């Protein structure tokens, strides 16, 4: 199989359980990049949260962030694709989150905003303590967002809650089918504009790069990776992936803590 582009989810896929890229997988990706293969990160995180990892990999290819709401090149700051949530949807969701004391955050191109009592924001605070200043995520309290101008320029809302509540949030927030609501991990509920997915973003990016979709290999582990895995020419589920994800993929590799990416690349190159 010819590989022109590899697309990697971050959490649970490229990152180990310690939120690191293993030296083994890092070397594999650098070798792929040097051979001309595009290395694309596709994540629910915003661009502000992935700069460190792109630096480690030494790649300058575009990245898919906020589950497909944005495709950009962090090095050149070129925006290839970007969609913001409707301000009216945002206001309704945030008003509901405040009234129900939900733990929420929302992402703009410049900041991550969080509820005053958010527990999830500790993830960002911990991350910032362990990276160089240039890679730290700018964080603000949601109360400091200039909402009097309308909730503009918001790429994604994250609610930190039991994912079994997704049907409830669908009924409450998505009556007009203007939203995409998915789980991106345990207790993580992502809300984006309608028809937003990593799968759509991969198709858009492949077309812009002039790469046939049949030459794209995608790697993932979670529900928000499903459309991306279905869209790619070849799909790889991590050993730690949800069973539903493993069932739809062409190949199941080892876990993210067992160099699953490197093993999958060797399998594709040697056996296909």
Q: Give the domains, in start order, of the chain with CATH numbers.
A: 5-82+196-271 (3.40.50.1000), 87-193 (3.30.1240.10)
Query: Residue 167 — very low, low, confident or very high, per pLDDT cuts 50/70/90?
Result: very high
The encoded tokens of residue 23 equal 């030296």
pLDDT tens string 31-55:
999 999 999 999 999 999 999 999 9
Widest distance between CA atoms in the chain: 58
pLDDT at residue 271, rounded to an integer:
78
Query: What is the C-alpha separation between 100 and 88, in angstroms, rounded?
Result: 18
Check whether 272 has a pLDDT greater than 90: no
Note whether 89 and 192 are within 8 A (CB): no
The encoded tokens of residue 118 equal 């958010």
Residues pairing with 220 in the sheet = 237
pLDDT at residue 150, rounded to an integer:
85
Average pLDDT score over the chain: 96
Helical packing angle, 87-99 and 166-173, nearest 10°: 130
pLDDT tens string 174-187:
999 999 999 999 99
Query: What is the C-alpha separation between 199 and 248, in angstroms, rounded?
Result: 14
pLDDT at residue 137, rounded to an integer:
97
What does the pLDDT average to over 234-240? Answer: 98
Least confident of 141-150, 155-164, 200-209: 141-150
pTM summary value: 0.96
């Amino acid at each position: 199989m010819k590989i022109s582009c590899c697309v990697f989810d971050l959490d649970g896929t490229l990152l180990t359980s310690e939120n690191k890229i293993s030296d083994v997988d890092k070397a594999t990706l650098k070798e792929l990049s040097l051979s001309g293969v595009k290395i694309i990160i596709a994540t629910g995180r915003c661009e502000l949260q992935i700069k460190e990892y792109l630096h480690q990999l030494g790649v300058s290819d575009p990245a898919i962030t906020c589950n497909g709401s944005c495709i950009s090149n962090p090095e050149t700051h070129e925006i290839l694709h970007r969609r913001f949530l409707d301000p009216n949807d945002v206001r309704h969701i945030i008003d509901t989150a405040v009234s129900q004391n939900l733990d929420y955050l929302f992402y703009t191109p410049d900041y991550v905003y969080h509820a005053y009592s958010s527990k999830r924001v500790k993830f960002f605070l911990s991350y910032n303590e362990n990276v160089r200043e240039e890679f730290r995520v700018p964080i603000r309290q949601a109360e400091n967002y200039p909402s009097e101008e309308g909730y503009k320029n918001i790429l994604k809302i994250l609610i930190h809650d039991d994912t079994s509540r997704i049907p409830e949030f669908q009924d409450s927030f998505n009556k007009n089918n203007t939203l995409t609501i998915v789980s991106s991990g345990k207790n993580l509920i992502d809300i984006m504009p309608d028809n937003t997915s990593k799968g759509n973003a991969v198709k858009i990016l492949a077309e812009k790069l002039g790469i046939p979709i049949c030459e794209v290999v995608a790697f993932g582990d979670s529900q928000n990776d499903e459309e991306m895995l279905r869209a790619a020419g070849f799909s790889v589920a991590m050993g730690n992936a949800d069973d539903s994800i493993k069932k739809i993929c062409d190949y199941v590799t080892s876990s993210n803590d067992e160099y699953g990416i490197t093993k999958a690349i060797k399998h594709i190159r040697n056996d296909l």
